[in-house]
Structure 1
Amino acid sequence: MGVREAVTSRSGADGSRALRWRWRTATIAAGWAFPADWALAEVDDVCRAVLGEGDPCRELYRLGGARAEAGAGLAETLLDLAALHAVLAQPPGSTGVVPADVDAIPARMLRSTALGWGDVMSRQAASCSADDPLSGLATPAYLRTRLREVYAEARALGRQEHVLVLVSLDLSRTSGWSRVVAMTLLADALREVFDAGETVASIGPSVACVLLRRDRHLARAVANLRVLTADRLAVDPHVAPTGPVGVRLEELPPTCEDAAALIARLGRSEH
């Protein structure tokens, strides 16, 4: 009896949680760079699907797409899939590091996940939408455009007048639509506090940021954001496990290229 049968023998929810925990452990051990962004609603769907009797390819396709939307590359996405496959193939009671071998992934699993990832990347390249469809915040692509404009302005002025306000939620204890609801509530608070032309963008599954000009009202706006976000999250009991919102100022680096790299890193490394 393998891990699949061992965890299936538990109750449905317990078995899914056990598989999820072992999968995450194996993925991080294999080199997943940003543990905070691993947990997605689609992960839970895949766990339920592989423990059931049906074909999990549809759920794997959606997971591949969700990984692409969260900023994971194809190699990283397939490494995660390899970790899942390795965990499922382990005998019950096994301990230690589970080796993730991409070359060992069954063709159907590999194809479904890669197609999901590729289809999302193709749509993103074709549409280049300026707004995130769920939160309504600006996309990372639009933020990069604004950064180029800000740096051009700074060169003309001889000084940098803009700063980033980084806002993050710890969604590690939430799953499914609770994560979406939490980020939607955060987006509402951001738009209410920063409503004078600032660029408010989603840069990761649990991270947003504001690009704005530094002025004497900045400290008050940050304090208001902390209070308002806490109030919004407290209204919905399903998002209570998100914990306190993290808000901090982030200085812009010397070049626009450095700023783009900073945004990409912050979007995946924050809780």
Structure 2
Amino acid sequence: MTSGTPPVAGDSLRAQWWELASGQGWATEVEWRLQSVDALCEALGDGRDPWAAAERLGFERAAASIPLSEALADIDLLASLVSTQMAEALRRAVSLGWSARTSTPPIGIVDPLTGLTSLGYLQVRLGEVYRALGAKRLQPDEVALVLVRIESTQSGLGRNLPMMLLAEGMRGIFDAGETLSVVSETTMAILARRDAELARRIELGRSLAQRVIDRDRHGAGSTVRAWIEPLPGTAALAAELLESSGR
């Protein structure tokens, strides 16, 4: 696939592309602009082969739960700015990247130790939430990401059992359609609607779990902490937040 000579430099091309994309339903530039968008514009701006960047864009769009039809409509806008003769090749590259992401082995939905949904499942749910935010079907102040962590110096059963007890206790409090997921062996996350009762429910779940853990001999020295994390600007940043919080 050869790119030819594009009519504009990378930065200018990206700005023009975003101007068209914003008129086609993309809510924010933060949601639209992935690293692969920059790489693709730079490749075209430098007259380099854009295939790898376009394929990566398809992969990242699929990872963000963007339908293939929308990813292709977006790449058509770019082709209209550089050369319509490139449209077919760009579409093929994006389609291959998108398919590569969606054809990966399915994630495990349930963590066998705690019975909570997996981190992978939570990331899928977050992708759906960010799509709803971008389409204005959901407002940022309507959803909350709650993190609950067990701080302990123990290992083995002394670490695993408190987490199992915590998961059981939190499921009893958050039982109205919330997503409860395991982030690491000491941290769980709850994707919930933000309402006037949320803080009270979090503290109730935390205190009940702490009480149960304190009564178990394997829970000695384990402390339960819980807090609400503001949702980052993008699903990718949310994934980074979860990864760092699980350490």
TM-score, normalised by the number of residues in structure 2: 0.55
- The aligned residue for residue 178 of structure 1 is 158
- The aligned residue for residue 131 of structure 1 is 110
Residues 149-176 of structure 1 deviation map (CA, whole Å, 9 limit, x = unaligned): 111111122632211111001122x122
Q: Distance in 2 between matches of 1:182 and 1:127?
A: 29
| Cα RMSD, aligned residues only | 1.4
- The aligned residue for residue 140 of structure 1 is 119
- Runs of at least 4 residues off by over 3 Å: none
Which entry has the higher C-alpha Rg, 1 or 2?
Answer: 2
2:157·2:218 contact (CA, 8 Å) conserved in 1? Answer: no
Pairwise CA distance, 1:231: 1.5
Within 5 Å, which residues of 2 pair with 1:102-141? 126=105, 128-141=107-120
Q: Distance in 1 between matches of 2:227 and 2:217?
A: 26
SS at match of 2:114: coil
Letter in 2 for 1:154: L
Pairwise CA distance, 1:202: 0.5
TM-score, normalised by the number of residues in structure 1: 0.50
The alignment status of 1:247 with 2:207, answered yes or no, reads no
Q: Distance in 1 between matches of 2:134 and 2:106?
A: 31
Q: Distance in 2 between matches of 1:147 and 1:127?
A: 17
Pairwise CA distance, 1:142: 0.1
Larger relative CO (CA 8 A, sep 6+): 1 or 2?
A: 1
Pairwise CA distance, 1:235: 2.1
Within 5 Å, which residues of 2 pair with 1:210-229? 210-229=190-209
The alignment status of 1:263 with 2:236, answered yes or no, reads no
Pairwise CA distance, 1:127: 5.6
Q: Which runs of 5+ in 1 are unaligned?
A: 1-124
Pairwise CA distance, 1:251: 0.5
Select 1:166's aligned residue among 129, 144, 147: 147
The alignment status of 1:232 with 2:212, answered yes or no, reads yes
Q: Distance in 1 between matches of 2:156 and 2:236?
A: 34
- The aligned residue for residue 154 of structure 1 is 133
Q: Which runs of 5+ in 2 are unaligned?
A: 1-103
Q: Distance in 2 between matches of 1:219 and 1:175?
A: 30
Q: Distance in 2 between matches of 1:127 and 1:145?
A: 11
Q: Distance in 1 between matches of 2:214 and 2:185?
A: 20
SS at match of 1:208: strand
Letter in 2 for 1:162: V
2:209·2:224 contact (CA, 8 Å) conserved in 1? Answer: yes
Letter in 1 for 2:146: V
SS at match of 1:216: coil
SS at match of 1:197: coil
Q: Distance in 2 between matches of 1:140 and 1:175?
A: 21
Q: Distance in 2 between matches of 1:135 and 1:203?
A: 11
Within 5 Å, which residues of 2 pair with 1:5-154? 126=105, 128-154=107-133
